Structure 1
Amino acid sequence: MKTWRSCGSAIAPGARAALELALVLALSACAAGPAPKPHSVAPQLSPATDAAAAGMVEIRSLVPDISLDIRYAGRDNFIGRPVEGYQAPGCYLHEPVAQALARVERSLRPQGLRLRIYDCYRPVRAVRDFVAWAGDLDDQRSKPQYYPNLDKRVLLGDYISPTSGHSRGATLDLTLLELRDDRFEPMDMGTPFDFFDETANTASPNVDARQRSNRERLREAMRREGFENYPLEWWHYTYKPEPTPQTAFDFPVR
């Protein structure tokens, strides 16, 4: 396990867990992190209480048959239960972002490909739920599936942040589906969604050529419509420029 540095201070690996977690949280305010994060500046919180007030739309209003697998609305996620703020499996995005995503979907269909969406807008309360889970070092139930090679204490920072671009309504997590035997199945990306490991880095050298090609195919399809990939997660994309880069939202996903 590496030594964490925060604004010039260092804590050795044997330090107490509570102090280490506090230092990791402070990484979001430092310029010395290992990689630029898309969620490093805490935005202002909007008073909007629903998607309409926030200027967001549900993606199925544009693409009724798009494939949704909203993990945080159920139990198939690293916490193992529905996440705070997810009352239903929905995908909300600012309207220009949703329009761009619909264009990506339409461009892929003639190629026998489609998108599957894992997460879109994420309420601030859900982010707080993630941080609380990361701080509960006694809960290791999901370690074999989601972070087998990491100590849970290092998840706060590059993997789980006290602020998230998802809360601004222009970021989403997704993968590609391909038609196989009359069914659309997920393409092999080398790791599952939300796998906390360097292998999930988009350009990881630890995946094979086909997996790398599949990641690049997704990246190129998204790039053409203005989406930028987060290099530490092959599934994570943000539309640029963001409609509300300084504003986060906390209305529930219904």
Structure 2
Amino acid sequence: MRRAAFVLCGLVVAALLAPAGTAAGAPRPRFVALSSVDSTIIQDIRYATPHNFTGRVVPGYQAPLCLLTAPAAQALHRLQQSLTRRGYSLKVYDCYRPQRAVDRFVAWSGDSGDHAMKAEFYPEVDKSRLFDEGYIARRSGHSRGGTVDLTIVKLPAAPTRAYRPGEPLASCYAPRAQRFPDASIDMGTGFDCFDERAHTLDPRITGTAHADRLWLKRLMEGAGFTGIPEEWWHFTYRREPYPDTYFDVPVSPASATRAAGTTPRSRPPAHSPVGALATWRRTGR
């Protein structure tokens, strides 16, 4: 009896320590590439580049690719159809995020010697407080495949230049003309701004930027997503297929399944990050 109890205890501990999404009986994720559902949605997958708060390509991002569950991708496709008729487009910064990337964020937050990207992404917050203040967490809805970070751009979208590691950084809440150019309509801050100014209803964000945030919020809620008060760019599909499972497959073309019942729309512009994905496939970079 004692041995059986010991074995049972060991199994429970092993299950608790198992990587998210890999435990026995966990469903295999069925993610689609957003570009296979709607190739006109612009992609700027920041964690597949050094232009993010860590300053490096994040582990698990093997390609600049947006992966989502099919229902979430199809909801964005329907919204994109409406937006393009009005002369605008969605632009996604992050979609499915592997658990290993989340683990890297946690480890980075504890590295007191790395402040390479502070001037842009967290100019007024002490790095040691990022975890306690909720900017970094051990689990993310992104790892379930139903959460997306995104903005709106006016068409025709201006090309987004490549970030040059080591270049001078502008604060994420500096005036729009001074921030890193990414063609977004004015949202008051850039993406991944670790500051209260990124809160959707922060009172310091007024005028056009305030109106643009509320427009994005209304559009996404109407498409079936729910936002969070702390990040104007963050939305989760309400009827997500994997509400309790956190996956750790890499972001790569091999992790995507074929999107059934959808037809990609027109070819993306050559300058867009989606077009860059085709180059990545040819060159391996």
Q: Is the 8 A contact 2:71 2:240 kept in 1?
A: no
Q: Is the 8 A contact 1:118 1:174 kept in 2?
A: yes
Matched, 1:125 2:100: yes
Normalised by the length of structure 2, the TM-score is 0.70
Supply the distance in 2 between the matched residues of 1:178 and 1:133 (Cα, whole angstroms): 34
Q: Is the 8 A contact 1:43 1:248 kept in 2?
A: no
Q: Is the 8 A contact 1:66 1:116 kept in 2?
A: yes
Supply the distance in 2 between the matched residues of 1:140 and 1:130 (Cα, whole angstroms): 13
Supply the distance in 2 between the matched residues of 1:250 and 1:230 (Cα, whole angstroms): 23
Match of 1:162 in 2: 138
Match of 1:18 in 2: none
Helix, strand or coil: the match of 2:149?
strand
Matched, 1:62 2:60: no
Q: Supply the AA of the counterpart residue of 2:63.
A: A
Q: Deviations over 1:35-73 (max 9, x none)?
A: xxxxxxx9982239xxx9411101001112320000000
Helix, strand or coil: the match of 1:114?
strand
Match of 2:201 in 1: 203
Supply the distance in 1 between the matched residues of 2:75 and 2:247 (Cα, whole angstroms): 21
The runs of at least 4 consecutive aligned structure 1 residues that moved more than 2 Å come to 42-48, 182-185
Match of 2:55 in 1: 80
Q: Match for 2:77 among 94, 97, 102?
A: 102
Structure 1: 5+ residue stretches without partners: 1-41
Q: Match for 2:109 among 131, 134, 150?
A: 134
Decide which structure has greater strand share: 1
Q: Match for 1:144 among 102, 119, 124?
A: 119
Helix, strand or coil: the match of 2:143?
helix
Helix, strand or coil: the match of 1:45?
coil
Match of 1:228 in 2: 226
Helix, strand or coil: the match of 2:220?
helix
Helix, strand or coil: the match of 2:229?
coil
Q: Supply the AA of the counterpart residue of 2:51.
A: D
Could you tell me how far 1:183 is from its partner in structure 2?
A: 3.7
Q: Supply the AA of the counterpart residue of 2:246.
A: A
Q: Is the 8 A contact 2:143 2:247 kept in 1?
A: yes
Q: Deviations over 1:209-249 (max 9, x none)?
A: 11010011111111111101111000000010321111111
Q: Deviations over 1:9-50 (max 9, x none)?
A: xxxxxxxxxxxxxxxxxxxxxxxxxxxxxxxxx9982239xx
Q: 1:164 to 1:68 in 2, by over 3 A?
A: same
Q: Deviations over 1:57-108 (max 9, x none)?
A: 0100111232000000011101111000001111111111111111111111
Q: Is the 8 A contact 2:33 2:67 kept in 1?
A: yes
Q: Supply the AA of the counterpart residue of 1:169.
A: G
Helix, strand or coil: the match of 2:38?
coil
Supply the distance in 2 between the matched residues of 1:107 and 1:64 (Cα, whole angstroms): 15
Match of 1:15 in 2: none
> RCO higher in 1 or 2 (8 Å CA, sep ≥ 6)?
2
Match of 2:249 in 1: 251
Q: Is the 8 A contact 2:95 2:149 kept in 1?
A: yes
Match of 1:27 in 2: none
Larger CA Rg, structure 1 vs 2:
2
Match of 1:174 in 2: 150
Q: Supply the AA of the counterpart residue of 2:196.
A: E
Helix, strand or coil: the match of 1:126?
helix
Normalised by the length of structure 1, the TM-score is 0.78
Count of paired positions: 208
Q: Is the 8 A contact 1:190 1:200 kept in 2?
A: yes
Q: Supply the AA of the counterpart residue of 2:217.
A: R
